[in-house]
Each structure stands twice: as structure tokens, then as C-alpha cells.
Chain A
Amino acid sequence: MTQSTSRRDVLLGAAALAGAAGLPRAASADTKGRIVVGTWGGDYARLLNKNVEAPILIKDGWEVVQDQAGDPERRSKMLAEVRLPRGTSDVQGLSALNMFQMQDAGTVLPIDYGKLKNAANLIPSMKYPYGVGHIYSGKVGVYNPKLITTAPVSYKDVFDPKHGNKLGIIDIQYQYTMVCAALAAGGKVNDLEPGKKLLLECKNAGMRIYPTNEAFAQGLKAEEFGIGVMWKARVVQWQNAGIPVTAVAPSEGTLAYISGFVIPKNAPNKDGGYAYLDAMLEKSAQEAFAVDMGYNPTVTNAVVAPDLNQRIGFTPEEIKKLVDLDYDYMNKNDVEFKDWWDKVLKS
């Protein structure tokens, strides 16, 4: 008696389990498929969902899953998975430098622009053979007019040892800070030695180093320092938060920051990856990112309101003078630069 009840229970349990296992399949049978997108967390992830995934992809029948983590962790995962026939993500959001690095490491798929209907609208410089630029901004000079009475017009004015401890830099932005300092010292994007020398002079004069963008913003707000460099988009967010800063496009040319997406070579759903890239280039999604996040569109058909464009965008002359990193040079020397930054500049 006991035995038969137990067996019945087991059979019932097994049936319930089988039914439960079938549920997600039944649900996903109605979708075009699943797209796993690797992205930073926070605002970026939220806005991807709000402006790209929910109104375009999910509405179109795709299931989208975000794998949120910092880019170092996601790059490590891509490297660790490179030998597997099937990876775990279909698209990965990375900076242009990191996109190059992952391409160099043989982890990403060459982009077939014929599969992207919105590719025709892409700004040519955002069409990488291995990835697609999503949004961009530039490293501008930022200063608090209360503490810095003479407005800077160049990186040279920002990285001036005379500012003493009123100059602040960000630890996690060592690559871009070194390039800005190199441009300030008359160097080039593929020769950072003059920048190193200038940074040491600034350090000896009392330059402050903040660990993160957020700590840098807090320092600005508390008036611990009054001048530095930052992404223009982030400056807009700070201004909105009431931090008293003004941005200036440097006369040496603004160092560009491009955030884009790549498709891993072993992406389980490559068609889904292309669908994601196409959706993020949609006019509506690009315009919404400019409004919500303060970054500039990478497609020519996106319309940004003139008052917003004045705050987040660049003039045609400034766009002409945008400076890009030398990806190969940076990639080859990254470990050496970080060593110098940690052992010499921060010592």
C-alpha cells in the first residue's frame, strides 16, 4: 500500500517536472529566438532595454537576455570561451579600444554590413570591420569657474602644473588620461612619453588621483579640486545633477570615446546578434540615447534638438578635429602603461 502510493507520488512528481520543463520551451516557441547581450550594468543596461530591446526587438518577437558585468569580466569570459564551439553571448558591448583588442585576440566575427539595413546611415568612422559604433562622446576639459578663474581652452591648459592640487584625474581612466596629457605636451596618440613627463610634473605639484568617475564627481562637487578631463556626456549628467562644471573642447582636438558592439565568433545566435546591431542603429533608439544618456548618435539620420546638441554635441570644426586612439599602439603597450601608472605615477 505504502509502496504503491510512493510510486504514484513519484510518477506524479516526474510528470509535473516534465511539464514544468516544457513550459519555457512552449513560451519560447512563439519568439524568433533568444539574444544574449553582454553589457555594462547601470544606466547603459537600463537604456538599452528601454530604447532598443523593449520597443524594437521584443516587440518584434525576440527574447532578449542581458548579461550585465564590467567590460574586463566580459572580455575575460570571451577569451575563456574562445575555444568553445558555442559561446554564451550573441553580442558584447565594448569600447572601441576593447573591440580592437578582442578582434586582435581572435574572438570576434567580422561584420557583414550587408546584413544591417541601417548600415547605410552609419557615420563611416563608426564602421569597424569587427564591430559597430553605437554612441560616442569626447574627452573634454572640465572646470569649476569658481575655483579656476581663467577658462582653459586646451588640454595644455588643463594639465598645467600651476593648478597644483586643483587638478584631478581618474585612476580607472589611465589610458585616456595619458593620451590627453601626451597631446597637451605636444606628443601624439602613438607617443605617450611627453605625456608621462607632464603627468609627473603635475603629480609633483599636488595633482589629485580619484579612484572612479563617481569619486571624481564627488571631489568636484565638494570643491576639493576644480579642473580635469571627462567625457562630455558625463559632464552633462553632472550639470543636470547640480555640479557646477563647464566643459570646453580642447584646441588640440577632442579625444573621442566610442562605445560599440561586437558579435563573438562562437555566438550561438548570430542572426540575433545582427538583429541587435541593426536595432541599436534605429533612428528612434539613437535619438533616445542622446536624450537619456547625453551621447551622440552614430547614424546620420538621427535628429538631435539644437539645444541638446549644443550641450552634448560638437561643432563641425570640432568633429573634424576629433582624435581617435591608436588602437594597435595602445593594445601593444597597455600593460606597460598600467605598470608605469601604478608604479611611477601613483607611487
Chain B
Amino acid sequence: MAATAATHLQSDEAPTSLLSATMLVGPATVFVAAGLLVPLAILFRYSFNSFEPRRMMVETFTLGNYVKFFADPYYTGVLWTTLRVAALCTLACLVMALPLAYVLARTQSRFKNVLIMLVVLPLFVGNAVRAAGWMVLFGSRGFLNVTLMQFGAINEPLQIMFTEGAVVAGIIAVNLPYMVLTLQSVIEGINRNVEEAAFSLGAGPATMFRRVLLPLSLPGILAGTILTFILGMNAYATPVLLGGPKFKMMGPLVYGQFQLNNWPFGASAAFILMTATLGLTATANILIQRRFRR
């Protein structure tokens, strides 16, 4: 009897649940499939075509573009530069964001919302505009050089623009708010009592951070790291404007190939960038999850 009732209930509810689930998931799925997956699939197919200057793209199936990328030290060098810059920026963001996020999460100040708004404020300005600001600051006749020369600290302007350092500084400035906000929300969810328990058991601030706060905030660190790493890998405006003509990262490289109408090679470079980003992100995720479980 009970079994019959359960069956009846299931058969009664199933169509409605299915319909609701479809209604809830459907619009976003259709949007993602049409707006992201279909163009990606087309681009993936293009990456196996070949390029001829007169005919632009020739329909065929070849691994030539991928072979060209990995066989040429120039392109692999660009990929390594991108990985190095993205990793460096992610690490710097993490180190700078942790204390800031901790203070924001734990503060009882009535200005807490204002402080959070100050962190978010740079996101109100586009990347290119922010990079333009850095150009004014870093230029040979920029604010920094002029100030240093006024005070007699230097005689000749420092070459800051068009260097990797300028790009790293620019990307950190873009990505830092994402890391701070992610960490702050996770640290806020950690009960203050567990920190006090650690202190009462004799742990110093460093030990408490290492043994309590860090493991508990690992999900936030993971999310923030993934977010900033992906943004760093795909940076475009900052490397172009602050890195100058000799500095190359993958984003500008991909765009440059499309400018030359070499869509097949541009598509293959885009997929190499995407695969490297996804692969490293997934690996980091698995490694940190394992440690977190322990």
C-alpha cells in the first residue's frame, strides 16, 4: 500500500519536476549552447583548416597549425611568457589580497561597506582606460619619472613602459579586486571562534593562520586563484598597451593572427591557450581539493 502510494506520488510529481527543471535550466543552456559552444565548435573545426594567402582559409583536415605552434620556439616562448606572467600575477594577487580580505572580513567598522566599495571601485573602469592611466604614470615624461627627476633621484627617465614589469603591475591592478572579494566572502564564513580557540590553545598568529585560517579558506583561495589565473592568461589590453611592440602574450598573438586573416592558425592558438588554461586550472583544482580533504 505504502509502495503504491509512493509510486503514485512519483508518477504524479515526475512530469511537473521535469518540466520545472527544463524551464529552469533551458534558457541558460540554450543561450550558452548557441552563444558559446556552437562558435567554439566552428572555431575548433577551423583550426584544422589550412591558410593560403590568396584563398585565406582552405577547407581540409590537418594538424599543421598545431605542429607549427609547438615546433616554433617563438610561439612556445609566447605561451611560456603568458604562463609566467599569469602565475606571477596570481601569486602576487594572493599575497596582497589575503591580509586585505582578512581585515575586510573581520572589521566591525561602520565603514565596512565603504571599504568594500573602494575595493570594487577599479572594476567600474575598463581595462584599457586603466592601462591608459598606467601609461601616464609610467611614461618617460610620466608622473613617476618626472617626480623622481624633480627630487634628483635619477638623471635619466627610467624605462618602465614597454617592459614585463609594467604588464605585471597592470594585470595585478586589474585582478586584485576579484581575489580580495572572493577571499573576503569565504573568510567571513569562517567562525571567529575557531581562531580564538587556536589562540587559547597557545597558537601564535602565524600558527593560527597556517593551521586554521589557511585550510579553512582554501576553497576561497582556490576560487580566487582560478579566477585571477584565467584573467591573467587571457589578458589583452594591458599587454598591448603597457607591454609595447616587443612583449607578446597569447591574447594579442591570437588577435594578431585574425588581423592577418590567418583564421586557422589563430583558431589553433586560441585552442592551445584555452587547453593550457583549462588543464592548469583543473590540475590545481584537483591538487588543492586533495589537500583540502586531508
Seen from chain A, the residues whose Cβ lies within 8 Å of a Cβ on chain B are 72, 75-76, 79, 101, 104-105, 171, 209-211, 218, 222, 224, 331-335, 338, 342-343, 346-347
Cβ of A171: which chain B residues have Cβ within 8 Å of it?
Answer: 245
- CB pair A335–B244 under 8 Å, yes or no, is no
**Interface range on chain B: under 10, 10 to 19, 20 to 34, or 35 or more?**
20 to 34
- CB pair B248–A335 under 8 Å, yes or no, is no
User: When A224-B140, A342-B248 are in contact, do A333 and B261 touch as well, CB less than 8 Å?
Assistant: no
- CB pair A338–B260 under 8 Å, yes or no, is yes
Interface centre among B51, B56, B72, B248 (most CB of A within 10 A): B56
Measured CA separation A200–B69 after assembly (Å): 25
User: When A105-B55, A331-B53, A343-B74 are in contact, do A211 and B244 touch as well, CB less than 8 Å?
Assistant: yes
Cβ of A343: which chain B residues have Cβ within 8 Å of it?
Answer: 72, 74
- CB pair B53–A335 under 8 Å, yes or no, is yes
- CB pair A333–B53 under 8 Å, yes or no, is yes
- CB pair A222–B245 under 8 Å, yes or no, is no
Chain A: minimal CB distance from B158 (Å): 13
B211 within 8 A of A: no
Which of B53, B260, B261 contacts A332, CB < 8 Å?
Answer: B53
Chain A: minimal CB distance from B72 (Å): 8
B259 within 8 A of A: yes
Give B239-258 as 1s and 0s: 1 = Cβ < 8 Å from A's Cβ atoms: 01100111010000000101
Measured CA separation A105–B53 after assembly (Å): 9
| Those of B63-79 within 8 Å (CB) of chain A | 72, 74
A-B contact pairs, 8 of them (CB 8 A): A105-B55, A211-B245, A222-B139, A331-B54, A332-B54, A334-B260, A342-B74, A346-B246
Measured CA separation A45–B101 after assembly (Å): 46
Give B127-139 as 1s and 0s: 1 = Cβ < 8 Å from A's Cβ atoms: 0000000000001
Cβ of B74: which chain A residues have Cβ within 8 Å of it?
Answer: 342-343, 347
Chain B residue nearest in CB terms to A172: B245
Determine chain A's interface SS by DSSP, over half rule.
helix
- CB pair A209–B54 under 8 Å, yes or no, is no
| Those of B247-278 within 8 Å (CB) of chain A | 248, 256, 258-262
- CB pair A79–B261 under 8 Å, yes or no, is yes
User: When A76-B261, A338-B260 are in contact, do A209 and B245 touch as well, CB less than 8 Å?
Assistant: yes
Kindly list 19 other residue pairs between chains A and B, CB separation below 8 angstroms, not including A209-B246, A342-B248: A76-B258, A76-B261, A79-B261, A105-B261, A209-B245, A210-B245, A211-B240, A211-B241, A211-B245, A222-B141, A334-B53, A335-B51, A338-B256, A338-B260, A342-B74, A342-B256, A343-B74, A346-B246, A347-B74
Chain B residue nearest in CB terms to A101: B261
Cβ of B261: which chain A residues have Cβ within 8 Å of it?
Answer: 75-76, 79, 101, 105
Chain B residue nearest in CB terms to A339: B74
Chain A residue nearest in CB terms to B266: A76
Cβ of A76: which chain B residues have Cβ within 8 Å of it?
Answer: 258, 261
Chain B: minimal CB distance from A327 (Å): 12
Measured CA separation A211–B240 after assembly (Å): 8
Chain A: minimal CB distance from B79 (Å): 14
Measured CA separation A101–B54 after assembly (Å): 8
Cβ of A332: which chain B residues have Cβ within 8 Å of it?
Answer: 53-54
Cβ of B241: which chain A residues have Cβ within 8 Å of it?
Answer: 211
Chain B residue nearest in CB terms to A343: B74
Cβ of B54: which chain A residues have Cβ within 8 Å of it?
Answer: 104-105, 331-332
Chain A: minimal CB distance from B148 (Å): 16
Measured CA separation A93–B199 after assembly (Å): 70
Chain A residue nearest in CB terms to B55: A105
Cβ of B162: which chain A residues have Cβ within 8 Å of it?
Answer: 211
Interface centre among B53, B72, B139, B141 (most CB of A within 10 A): B53
Measured CA separation A244–B11 after assembly (Å): 85
Measured CA separation A187–B141 after assembly (Å): 38
Chain B: minimal CB distance from A158 (Å): 19
Interface centre among A101, A211, A346, A347 (most CB of B within 10 A): A211
Cβ of B248: which chain A residues have Cβ within 8 Å of it?
Answer: 342
Cβ of A218: which chain B residues have Cβ within 8 Å of it?
Answer: 139
| Those of B126-160 within 8 Å (CB) of chain A | 139-141
Give B38-74 as 1s and 0s: 1 = Cβ < 8 Å from A's Cβ atoms: 0000000000000101111000000000000000101
Measured CA separation A195–B239 after assembly (Å): 29
